[in-house]
Structure 1
Amino acid sequence: MKRQLLLAAAILAAGSAFGLISPAAQAHGYYDNPPPPPRHEVRPAPRPGQAWVPGHYDRARSGYAWRGGYYQAARPGHRYVPDRWVHGPHGWVKRPGYWVR
């Protein structure tokens, strides 16, 4: 068990030294490269009691993966603010969507 932990630590250290893995960035979901431009989606017809959540890129092991838009139960008196990617001092990080009054 101790040998496996030492091996794992050595691999992580070597990966960070060569820029392949950034443990801090990986732990907090930061990416060095920005996400690709959003894909064009045709929004389906409105549905009563449902709010449209536009498609967006999610984090993926190899970079970014597109998640198509979908309908979600609406919250009366609220507006949905979609997911977005923000560039900060450590790289790109995804801010999840949320509801506001």
Structure 2
Amino acid sequence: MKLSTRLLIAQLALAAAGTFAAAASASAQEVVVVAPNAPPPVRYEAVPAARTGYVWDHGHWRWQGGRYVWVAGHWERVRIGYHWVTGHWARRGPNWVWVRGHWAR
């Protein structure tokens, strides 16, 4: 094999390795979801009967494929010493940003 071909293969391998490393580090970070317009009004959702050791997280609109899609509510396991902060859409300039639900002290 010629030296130039080997160098080309080595460069491609390094580029591929860099791409996979960047993708792995990006997946470890939280994804920021930005939508160009406000979400529709929240849908009414019947809250199930209380469940010991869990808190109900209401449904919300998710930005997916260029449009809003409804995501039904679900139970979150209680974390002792924390309270649940429900996810919500917040206006950021001309766009809307999803702030994920999370546990706070």
Does the CA contact (< 8 Å) of 1:51 and 1:74 recur in 2? yes
Measure, in 1, the Cα distance between the counterparts of 2:61 and 2:89. Answer: 9
Change (3 A) 1:46 1:28: closer
Q: TM-score, normalised by structure 1?
A: 0.68
The answer as to 2:78 corresponding to 1:74 is: yes
Measure, in 1, the Cα distance between the counterparts of 2:57 and 2:66. Answer: 24
Alignment of 1:33-44 (within 5 A): 33-44=37-48
Measure, in 2, the Cα distance between the counterparts of 1:58 and 1:76. Answer: 28
Measure, in 2, the Cα distance between the counterparts of 1:38 and 1:29. Answer: 18
Does the CA contact (< 8 Å) of 1:30 and 1:90 recur in 2? no
Structure 2 unaligned blocks of 5 or more: 1-30
Structure 1 unaligned blocks of 5 or more: 1-26
Change (3 A) 1:74 1:93: same
Greater than 3 Å deviation, 4+ residue runs: none
Measure, in 2, the Cα distance between the counterparts of 1:32 and 1:83. Answer: 18
Identity %: 33
Which residue matches 1:48? Answer: 52
Q: TM-score, normalised by structure 2?
A: 0.65
Residue by residue, what CA displacement relative to the aligned partner does 1:35-64 show, whole Å, maximum 9, x if unpaired? 001000110001111111111111110311
Which residue matches 1:15? Answer: none
Does the CA contact (< 8 Å) of 2:32 and 2:98 recur in 1? no
